[in-house]
Structure 1
Amino acid sequence: MKANRPMPNIPPFLVPNRIESPRLVLRTFRPDDWPSLHEHYSDAESTRFTFRRALSEGDSWYAMANMVGHWHLRGYGPYAVEEKATGNVLGTVGLWYPKDWPEPEIKWALTRRYWGKGYASEAARAVQAMAKEHLPDVSLISFIHAENAASIALALAVGATFEKEMPFRGATWHIYRHPR
């Protein structure tokens, strides 16, 4: 296999691969982001409603690779959330639409030590604004486990409204619709 051969049939990104907010840079992932993401994914409390378990190093790497691949398959995807002041990667926020999801969503997953500091809402609002400009015809949701009170509070804080609940992967999940 040739190392620098371009990949065929890869669509261009539909949205910017980098956006900014007052305290944050949201950008596509780099290989050196993996250890910061693993801090989130290896924390059983952080992954209780998504993966339902702490992830191994290998599983965390696969999760990051999955998000990188999402950009190439959909033309958009989750961003690495980097704090401007320190350069630390805090987690991920961005657009997400796996094959079994009901609709495209704004997802968020920050490392626990960054919870409660307003980073997730700041990043989610930046993604809302970016999507309004670049994907104006796409209605976005956040798809949240019914028991995930913190994510529900965040969805409401950024203006999303409860739309309905539905069964998904053996549990009850809620759809919160973001403003257009």
Structure 2
Amino acid sequence: MNYLLTGQETERLKFRLLKPSDFDVWVDLFKEKNVANFLEMDPSLSPVELCQVWFDKSFNRYEKKLGGMNVLINKSTNEFVGQSGLLVQTIEEIDRLEVGYSILPKFWNKGYAYEAASKCKNYAFENNYADSLISVIHIDNIGSEKVALRNGMKFERKLDPQFNIFSIDKEDWNK
């Protein structure tokens, strides 16, 4: 199963696949302080190198049908806002479905992450992709933590010293 939301929409956003031509826009995310750490990437790499790692992982996920991040396009301005999607993550040898979201810095604090994450959550449960969903969030990424909580997730547990797992079960989503 590919878990992609390609062609889906929210009130303000359209979901589409990542394309190689998106590289120059997406590299701006990696110029921001702490983003490499938040995404569990090597902070010693340059923004261009980090972006290349992201693109390689993204296209690998698409190819192996492990879900992936869709590009988020603002429907009214046609601007590239960020990426969000459903990702198969292996956590302590168990495959779990994660709601992931990353927004370009110039669009932070405008509700796009929540809007996209909520769509991903609903899409996953409506299509019976999983009985529970997670978001794995760096302990210092307070913005992403707020999105997870607003998306109905609760703190599940600490994954390791750097990351927390937030989750929601389908049963709680149905309430």
Q: TM-score with structure 1 length normalisation?
A: 0.81
- The answer to which structure has the higher helix fraction is 2
Regions of 4+ moved over 4 Å: 98-102
Of 68, 88, 101 in structure 1, the residue corresponding to residue 79 of structure 2 is 88
Match of 1:161 in 2: 154
Secondary structure in structure 2 of the residue aligned to 1:17:
coil
What is the alpha-carbon root mean square deviation over aligned residues? 2.2
Mapped pair 1:79 → 2:79? no
Give the equivalent residue in structure 2 for 1:23.
12
Which position in structure 2 is the counterpart of 1:59? 50
Structure with the larger strand share: 2
Which of the two has higher C-alpha Rg? 1
**Which residue number in structure 2 is paired with residue 176 of structure 1?**
166
Q: Which of 23, 28, 32 in structure 2 is aligned with 1:34?
A: 23
What is the CA-CA distance between 1:16 and the residue it aligns to? 4.2
Among 95, 113, 127, the residue aligned to 1:120: 113
Structure 1, residues 8-37: CA drift from partner, whole Å, max 9, x if none? xxxx63544221001001111112211121
Q: Which amino acid aligns with 1:49?
A: F
The AA in structure 2 aligned to 1:56 is P
Counterpart contact for 2:137–2:164, Cα < 8 Å: yes
Compared CA separation, residues 74 and 160, structure 1 to 2 (3 A) = same
Unaligned runs of 5+ in 2: 171-175
Report % sequence identity: 23
Q: Is the 8 A contact 2:2 2:66 kept in 1?
A: yes
Matched, 1:49 2:49: no
The structure-2 alpha-carbon separation of the partners of 1:31 and 1:116, relative to structure 1 and needing over 3 Å to count, comes to same
Q: Distance in 2 between matches of 1:99 and 1:55?
A: 27
CA distance in 1, matches of 2:10, 2:29: 22
- In 2, distance between residues paired with 1:52 and 1:172? 14
User: What TM-score do you get using the length of structure 2 for normalisation?
Assistant: 0.83
**How far is the alpha carbon of 1:82 from its aligned partner?**
1.0
What is the identity, as a one-letter code, of the residue corresponding to 2:76?
A
Residue aligned with 1:20, SS: coil
